Amino acid sequence: MSAVPQSVLVVGSLVAAASIAIASLLDAHHYTDGLGFLRVGTPTNNSAEAPSGWSSQDPMHARSFGIECRAPEVPSGGNADALARAFGFDATVTHATLRTLWDAALIEQIDVRQMAAALWPATWGYYLMNLIGLEGTGLTLEAIAWAREHFIANVRAFGPLPTLRVGRQPYGVRRPRSADSQRTRRAGHCREAILPGPEH
């Protein structure tokens, strides 16, 4: 695998036709060079200490048979569910296209959300309340509450969507955003006021 993952950026509205086209592309990779989800922290290159986290070896096709024929249903918040919602897939397309991918049922997004909630009091929560504080800074409890909610819901060290492995190559997937939503985010006074400067 390449040491630097490439990015797949989907631009524009994901209407039904576009979602079907994306599903067809994923199916084509699935049944040719291979397609799956890549676990967080998986080595992407062979090294002297350890091999990469993926191998094309599949004696008697036992591994692929197990995935294709015994894949569990897609759990809410799992890798397949997160990607399906980002691509606008309905339940039928999700079941047909994503359910049988490697590690489709992993719930990494839920795990990291819970970890973010656990770490907030000792990291950003402590920093904002104790090192910056409310007195004379313009920072408010409401702004800190928004920051906590935003941090737990959106901040991911490995990105907001699971990584795909296409053949031997890992690809990061970015959530599509419209130009209007970008302007709205920039204009949000609460977001821009989270760490205001002192009033003069």
User: In which band, very low, low, confident or very high, does the pLDDT at 183 lie, cut at 50, 70 and 90?
Assistant: very low
| Residue 18 clears pLDDT 80, i.e. is over it | yes
The packing angle between helices 108-119 and 141-154, to 10°, is 150
Contact between 86 and 173 (Cβ < 8 Å):
yes
| Residue 175 clears pLDDT 80, i.e. is over it | no
| Residue 16 clears pLDDT 90, i.e. is over it | no
pLDDT tens digits, 90-113: 999 999 999 999 899 988 888 889
The whole-angstrom separation of Cα 34 and Cα 38 is: 12
pTM of the model: 0.68
pLDDT tens digits, 30-74: 999 889 998 888 887 778 887 777 777 777 667 777 777 778 888
The whole-angstrom separation of Cα 9 and Cα 84 is: 15
